[in-house]
């Protein structure tokens, strides 16, 4: 019984430890059971051995029979370092496939792609860490909410109410400033994910104030609308969570592209209308758009807005899950948690808008 499998010339290319019937074989062998590395010398020259590289992909030297280079071990893919489930090009939510990393070319996705698998030991993202940071952002948002009522009470003692009968003049200044800071902070987090802990905090405080101002304005016009909006938002979040966890809703690359494209189109359309409104508020075009928006068609658009916000929140769920599954560093827990918060805020505002349009048409 010969363990050396000596089918080639013994030219010193591998270290043979095998035993054979004739005793301990201390010779060198190309094809035997070896523990060394094949340095690419074939019969004394420096050409790379065909057993070392196959189809231009790296092989770390493991084969089914020993530690030598095997021509058929890995084909069309990287070996041990890259042949892991999280690097497979799939769309089932279990790996970094086109559905997550390659589906939409935006700064945040490109950044996540660079850092997938970098987490080591205690530095890896976890669902517990995501939950803790999400709670943190909720509490920071609540601070912004509380700031509105505190300042509103302060202004009520020595300020004059504006013509609208809702807010004091100083509050409008703070409101606009909060929106500007929130916009800047959101843009920074998109291009610098590692700064999300700070700028996400700024965003949540500012949006906590701005959303409260908006809710206060709606509440003065529509009785009980804020509570209805909160309840419906929580219901939608619960349903989406169940559907996503059960696999009923799958976030694929196409799903992402459709959602993001729709969002961009809606934002561009809204920006164009705002500019026209500011330039010519009494034009026939502006009046017709406002009239349509306040009718049944406006309700339809509001429903589409809620559906879009729900789809965005579903993508945020998937991003959070992928952050953990792909082993991203704990820094990216902030990114995933921040995305969830922004998705919930956007959904609440769209629900609030929908309920207001429904009441307008009663």
For the record, the structure tokens of 75 come out as 């084909």
DSSP string, 76-98: SS--TTT-SGGGS--SSSSSS-T
Q: How confident is the model at residue 29 (pLDDT cuts 50, 70, 90)?
A: very low
- Give residues with Cβ within 8 angstroms of 358, minimum separation 6: 299
**pLDDT number for residue 197:** 94
What's the burial of 136, exposed, middle or buried (CB within 10 Å: 0-12/13-18/19+)? middle
* Separation between Cα atoms, residue 84 and residue 223, nearest integer Å: 56
* Separation between Cα atoms, residue 86 and residue 154, nearest integer Å: 54
Residue 308 pLDDT exceeds 80: yes
**pLDDT number for residue 283:** 87
Q: For residues 323-340, give the mean pLDDT.
A: 93
* Separation between Cα atoms, residue 80 and residue 38, nearest integer Å: 17
Taking the model in full, what pTM does it have? 0.67
Residue 201 pLDDT exceeds 70: yes
Q: For residues 311-329, give the mean pLDDT.
A: 93
In the 8-state DSSP scheme, what is residue 48?
P
Tell me which of 90 and 183 has the higher pLDDT: 183
pLDDT in tens, 213-248: 999 999 988 989 999 999 999 999 999 999 999 999
Residue 25 pLDDT exceeds 80: no
Q: How confident is the model at residue 158 (pLDDT cuts 50, 70, 90)?
A: confident
End-to-end CA distance of the chain: 92
- Arithmetic mean of pLDDT over the chain: 75
Residue 163 pLDDT exceeds 90: no
- For the chain, the C-alpha Rg in angstroms (whole number) is 30
pLDDT in tens, 95-135: 333 333 333 334 444 445 444 544 445 689 999 999 999 99
For the record, the structure tokens of 308 come out as 């879009």
**pLDDT number for residue 35:** 39
**pLDDT number for residue 6:** 43
Q: In this structure, what is the dihedral angle of CA atoms 214, 217, 220, 223, given to the nearest 10 degrees?
A: -30
Tell me which of 184 and 104 has the higher pLDDT: 184
């Amino acid at each position: 019984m010969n363990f050396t499998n000596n089918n080639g010339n013994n030219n010193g290319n591998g270290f043979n430890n095998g035993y054979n019937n004739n005793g301990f074989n201390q010779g060198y062998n190309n094809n035997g059971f070896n523990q060394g590395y094949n340095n690419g010398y074939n019969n004394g020259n420096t050409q790379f051995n065909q057993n070392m590289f196959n189809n231009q992909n790296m092989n770390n030297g493991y084969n089914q029979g020993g530690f030598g280079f095997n021509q058929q071990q890995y084909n069309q893919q990287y070996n041990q370092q890259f042949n892991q489930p999280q690097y497979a090009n799939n769309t089932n939510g279990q790996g970094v496939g086109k559905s997550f990393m390659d589906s939409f070319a935006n700064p945040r996705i490109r950044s996540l792609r660079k850092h997938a698998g970098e987490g080591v030991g205690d530095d890896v993202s976890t669902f517990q860490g995501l939950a803790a940071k999400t709670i943190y952002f909720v509490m920071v948002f609540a601070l912004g909410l509380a700031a509105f009522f505190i300042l509103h009470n302060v202004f009520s003692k020595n300020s004059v109410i504006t013509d609208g009968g809702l807010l004091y003049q100083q509050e409008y200044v703070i409101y606009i400033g909060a929106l500007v800071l929130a916009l800047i902070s959101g843009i920074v987090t998109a291009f610098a994910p590692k700064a999300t802990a700070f700028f996400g905090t700024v965003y949540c405080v500012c949006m906590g104030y701005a959303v409260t101002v908006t809710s206060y304005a709606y509440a003065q016009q529509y009785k009980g609308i804020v509570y209805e909006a909160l309840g419906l938002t929580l219901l939608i979040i619960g349903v989406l969570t169940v559907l996503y966890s059960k696999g009923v809703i799958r976030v694929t690359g196409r799903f992402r592209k459709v959602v993001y494209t729709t969002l961009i189109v809606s934002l561009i359309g809204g920006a164009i209308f705002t500019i026209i409104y500011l330039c010519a508020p009494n034009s026939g075009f502006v009046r017709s758009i406002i009239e349509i928006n306040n009718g049944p068609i406006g309700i339809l658009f509001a429903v589409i807005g809620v559906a879009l916000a729900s789809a965005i929140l579903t993508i945020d769920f998937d991003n959070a899950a992928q952050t953990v599954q792909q082993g991203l560093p704990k820094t990216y827990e902030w990114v995933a948690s921040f995305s969830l918060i922004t998705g919930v805020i956007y959904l609440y505002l769209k629900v609030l808008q929908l309920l207001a349009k429904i009441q307008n048409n009663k």
